[in-house]
């Protein structure tokens, strides 16, 4: 009886935790895709592996997932005309006109990343990690508006993984460098000095 009670308690806790931490990405069997790629004329398109063995996509959003989930597809589609194919001055104008905030801009891009990278038919494997403080940093940027529409203030920027960013490992895509923590690269310091969000 005690074993059964412990089993039920374990199952209940597992279900409760599972409900509060929705899994967004699950690895899948990629063997058919790999087999199909072998017939591609270009040798470089003949894959041995499609999904990373080491990258855990769900970790990208571990501290910001709630905010990204609350930002829904309706909001995404509403903001799309203000962001997609727009220049920085056009985006800054929308922010100064109070049609957009830096927080919403960041959430838009996080939602877009999640929508693409977590779709097994569409993902690009182009993201390795995400700054877990990016939403809070965007909220801080919303408190002060830029003096010019040509400013990088509050604009989110993705870095290639061979550019050092303090707080995230710079791996150059290599698992061997998974714990390679470093101070900011010169270009990152300049981006941050000009108000960009990394």
Output the six-digit token pair for 86. Answer: 């727009």
CB 68 within 8 A of CB 61: yes
Which is more confident, 167 or 89? Answer: 89
More confident residue, 5 or 134: 134
Domain boundaries along the sequence of the chain: 53-193
Contact 92, 125 (CB under 8 A): no
Burial label for 11, CB within 10 Å (0-12, 13-18, 19+), is: exposed
Q: What is the pTM of this model?
A: 0.76
Question: Residue 156 phi/psi, 5° resolution?
Answer: -75, 140
User: Which of 1-5, 68-72, 90-94 shows the lowest per-residue confidence on average (mean pLDDT)?
Assistant: 1-5
Q: Which residue is listed with tokens 């000009």?
A: 194
Query: At residue 4, does pLDDT exceed 90?
Result: no
The pLDDT tens digits of the residues spanning 103-158 come to 999 999 999 988 888 777 777 777 778 889 999 999 999 999 999 999 999 999 98
Q: How confident is the model at residue 10 (pLDDT cuts 50, 70, 90)?
A: very low
pLDDT digits (tens, 9 = 90+) for 74-113: 999 999 999 999 999 999 999 999 999 999 999 999 999 8
pLDDT at 12: 43
pLDDT band, residue 161 (cuts 50/70/90) = confident
Confidence band for 17, pLDDT divided at 50, 70 and 90: very low
Residue 26: what pLDDT?
Answer: 66
Lowest pLDDT segment from 50-54, 132-136, 175-179, 193-197: 50-54
């Amino acid at each position: 009886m005690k074993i059964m009670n412990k089993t039920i308690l374990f199952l209940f806790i597992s279900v409760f935790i599972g409900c509060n931490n929705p899994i967004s990405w699950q690895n899948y069997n990629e063997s058919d895709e790999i087999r199909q790629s072998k017939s591609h004329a270009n040798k470089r398109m003949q894959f041995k592996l499609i999904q990373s063995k080491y990258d855990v996509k769900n970790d990208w959003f571990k501290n910001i997932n709630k905010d990204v989930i609350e930002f829904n597809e309706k909001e995404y589609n509403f903001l799309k005309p203000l962001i997609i194919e727009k220049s920085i001055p056009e985006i800054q104008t929308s922010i100064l006109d109070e049609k957009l905030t830096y927080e919403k801009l960041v959430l838009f891009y996080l939602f877009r990343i999640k929508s693409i990278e977590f779709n097994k038919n569409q993902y690009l494997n182009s993201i390795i990690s995400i700054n877990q403080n990016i939403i809070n940093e965007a909220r801080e940027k919303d408190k002060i508006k830029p003096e010019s529409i040509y400013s990088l203030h509050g604009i989110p920027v993705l870095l290639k993984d061979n550019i050092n960013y303090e707080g995230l490992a710079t791996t150059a895509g290599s698992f061997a460098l998974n714990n390679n923590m470093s101070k900011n690269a010169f270009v990152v310091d300049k981006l941050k000095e000009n108000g960009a969000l990394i």
